[in-house]
Amino acid sequence: MSSASDLAALAGLLADETRAAMCLALLDGRAWTAGELAGLAGVAPSTATEHLHRLVRGGLLAERKQGRHRYVRLADPGAAQLIEDLAARLGPGPAPIGLRAVTASAALRRGRTCYDHLAGRLGVAVTDAMTASELLDQDGGCALTPYGKEWFAATLGVSLEAGRRPLARACLDWTERRHHLAGVAGARLCQVFFERRWVTRIGSGRAVRLTPEGVGALRSLLNTSGL
């Protein structure tokens, strides 16, 4: 059983605005270099490296060397869930100021990745459509129905081997204040969306947009409208 000091140490990892900003950026599910994260956080590369070493030692990030570069990413889905759940507990922040900030905020609300699954209005809409189509049961939890498991295999051609990770999990969306689909099913669905170019990233951040092909696919597969 973890001690109070262990919990305090974990909380301390995120009790710094620079480290928190880095972890939020890494919710896009990709690996970043220290230099990229330094630019995002507005700190010197040496300062970013110190923060990243602390996050790696604390188990929130994992580091990988490739050639001359070192890349970091969130250590596992549990680390991503912790950060997203903490963000979801926050009240609405101040309204963004300036055209660029307003545009970026609106894009994140419309659709984004939450580590390895879809979030924002897009993620919530897909989750609602799966529930309405009886692929997903959200009564008293979040679980794929037998029909939902068959749909992933037969319609999408996707294997859902869960392992230690939940097959399906409800993740509270920090902008919509409703749940979107996470877990293995959410990750595989997001992977399909990218591979088939139903969604594409907007710039280099977490925001994504639904492509015309994606609109057609969702209407055909899940009878969605208005996305």
Mean pLDDT calculated for residue range 106-125: 90
Q: Please say if the pLDDT value at position 215 is more than 90.
A: yes
In angstroms, the CA 82 to CA 182 distance is 13
pLDDT at 90: 73
Q: Please say if the pLDDT value at position 227 is more than 80.
A: no
- 9-53 pLDDT, tens digit per residue, is 989 999 999 999 999 889 888 889 999 999 989 999 999 999 999
Look at residues 198, 194, 226, 193 and name the one whose alpha carbon lies nearest to residue 212: 198
The residues pairing with 63 across neighbouring beta strands, listed in sequence order, are 72
Domain span(s) for CATH 1.10.10.10 in the chain: 4-75
Mean pLDDT calculated for residue range 163-183: 86
pLDDT at 94: 58
Architecture per CATH, 4-75: Orthogonal Bundle (1.10)
pLDDT at 180: 92
Q: 112 CB contacts (<8 Å, ≥6 apart)?
A: 28, 118, 119, 120, 122, 123, 205, 206, 207, 208
Q: Please say if the pLDDT value at position 214 is more than 90.
A: yes
pLDDT at 164: 78
Position 73 confidence tier, pLDDT thresholds 50, 70, 90: very high
Question: Rounded mean pLDDT of the chain?
Answer: 87
pLDDT at 194: 96
